[in-house]
Amino acid sequence: MPFTSLEFAIFFGIVLTLNHGLRNNPKRYLPSLAIFNVVFYALGAPKFAPLLFVVAFVNWLACRSMGPERGKLANKIIIWACVAANLSILAFFKYFDFILVTLEDLGLRLHGGLFALPEIVYPAGLSFFTFQGMSLAIDKFRDPGMEKVSYVEALAFVSFFPTVLSGPIQRFEPFMEQAGNKAPSPVDHGLAVTLILSGLFKKVALSSYLSEEVVRDVFQMPDAFSFVGILGAVYGYGAQIYLDFSGYSDLAMGVGLLLGFDVGLNFKSPYLATNIRDFWRRWHVSLSTWLRDYLYFSLGGSRKGSTTLNLIVTQTLGGLWHGAHLRYLVWGLAHGILLAVTHAWFKVVKKKEALVEKTGFKSWKKTKGKRGRLKAFLGFFFTFHFVTFLWILFRADTMPQAWVIFKGIFDFSKPGEGSPLLAWIIVLLTLLGQWRGDRLKDAMTRFQRRLSVPLLSLWCAFWIIIIMRLGPRGILPFIYFQY
């Protein structure tokens, strides 16, 4: 059930009313929240709702089984079994088709006949709530003395409906601190409405236009477009995926705030990054930090083994997290290699700066003024285009199609259709919004804080109607629902 649907508006109105009445009773609140979460998911994907109970149970059981009295070896066996169970669930739904095709390529026929296998449909949000559940169990392993976790707590955490479909990925302790707070901080209704309207405008008006009017046609029929048309679609998809996903994150933050939860900022103006390390500190922050804390550090991070290898493996697995396709493997590997190179370069810079401080030779640190601005711009220009051109692998259906699109960008003599001016304007607005968008957000929030709750509700409803009228008929699903 997407946030952009009328069904969600009705559901959330009911939940918000009940939430206000139950908030002062933590014993009743968590079971009620768990019920709200399951109902939300079941209304959109009823046959997959049992997965919420299974993932919560697997990780709760691991938490219950681990403890200081068990010993390190026993706790290690339990956590490895738990991680294997979670990854098995994820692999079955996400990589089943890939495994099936591979087996058939090896000569094992599984389609048709007595042993025919059913088509596997991927459950929305599975990666997100599985990772969230795993973080609970891993945190317990790392801190065996952590307080006991009840199954209801695990279920409410894993299935939290504002974030269950596409994040931001939550952490258990901050979540429980907010869920168990008898006197939560007063709700900032003005900020919540700003986030909700921002998310809807990004998704419905901007992202949907780029998808339907620009990106889809070019990626389906690249031969019909000139290099300007193809380049417009590539930039357009870079803007679309940001607007779509950050729009969902804004909605999740706004809905969470109205319920009394801070779900965390998931995007920090990522397209203004001046290097790839900076980009991954700004893009999909909850996944980046999850991969860092639970995968990169587990591999050894920068302390054990090869830092370069650990970075490349982490990013490559992060690519495969999106799907079992060569496109995602290449995407993750490319990011991993550049991240490793950038990390090595910063180590060199750090050593030289240390030498500068020791010797008193200051020329190396001369980065301010025109030189510093030029360096920052070149870093931004390269990082933006590296990231944007690699998004081609996300949107293309196959590697050959991705290669056709990529070549088309540089075929300046290629005849064909161009790209609408509005698409370029939206791309520019996407960049400007990351540069100065906080000012508009703050101004709008300050204005809305002056309105009474009834008047703010009418104001919000008015703009929701306007925004929904700007979008195409039938709102497209959020891009990251498929991951």
Cβ atoms of residues 261 and 162 within 8 Å:
yes
On average, the pLDDT of the chain sits at 89
Average pLDDT over residues 424-438: 93
- The per-residue b/e assignment along 101-111, b for 16 or more CB within 10 angstroms, e otherwise, is eeeeeeeeeee
Residue 243 identity = L
| 308 pLDDT above the threshold of 70 | yes
Q: How far apart are CA 307 and CA 341, in angstroms?
A: 11
Report the pLDDT value the prediction gives residue 114, as an integer from 0 to 100. 42
pLDDT at residue 24, rounded to an integer: 79
In angstroms, the Cα distances linking 153 to 180, 181, 194, 289 are: 10, 14, 30, 23
Here the tokens at position 223 are 């031969």
Q: Looking at residue 245, what is its pLDDT?
A: 94
Cα 307 to Cα 43, 340, 341, 344, 352, distances in angstroms: 45, 8, 11, 9, 20
Q: Are 33 and 25 in contact (CB under 8 A)?
A: no
Residues 330-343 have pLDDT tens digits of 999 999 999 999 99
What's the pLDDT at 347? 85
Cα(253)–Cα(168) distance, integer angstroms: 9
d(CA 65, CA 75): 8
Per-residue confidence at 481, pLDDT binned at 50, 70, 90?
A: confident
Count of positions (residues) in the chain:
483
- Quick: pLDDT tens for 92-121: 888 877 666 666 555 665 555 444 555 667
* Residue reference for tokens 């996300």: 394
> For residue 317, is pLDDT > 90?
yes
- Give the global pTM: 0.91
Helix (H, G, I), strand (E, B) or coil at 1: coil
* Count of alpha carbons within 13 angstroms of residue 254, beta-carbon side: 23
pLDDT tens for 144-198 read: 888 899 999 999 999 999 999 998 999 999 999 998 765 566 789 999 999 999 9
| Residue 80 confidence (pLDDT) above 90 | yes
Place of tokens 């079994």: 81
Q: Which residue has the higher pLDDT, 429 or 4?
A: 429
The distance of Cα 108 from the centroid of its chain, to the nearest Å, equals 36
Burial class (CB in 10 A: 0-12, 13-18, 19+), 71: exposed
The residue written with tokens 């869920």 in the block is 179
Q: What is the mean pLDDT of residues 83-90?
A: 94
pLDDT for 70 equals: 86
pLDDT computed for residue 364 by the predictor? 43
Q: Which of 42-56, 87-101, 131-145, 350-364 is predicted least confidently? A: 350-364
Token pair, residue 151, equals 């199954």
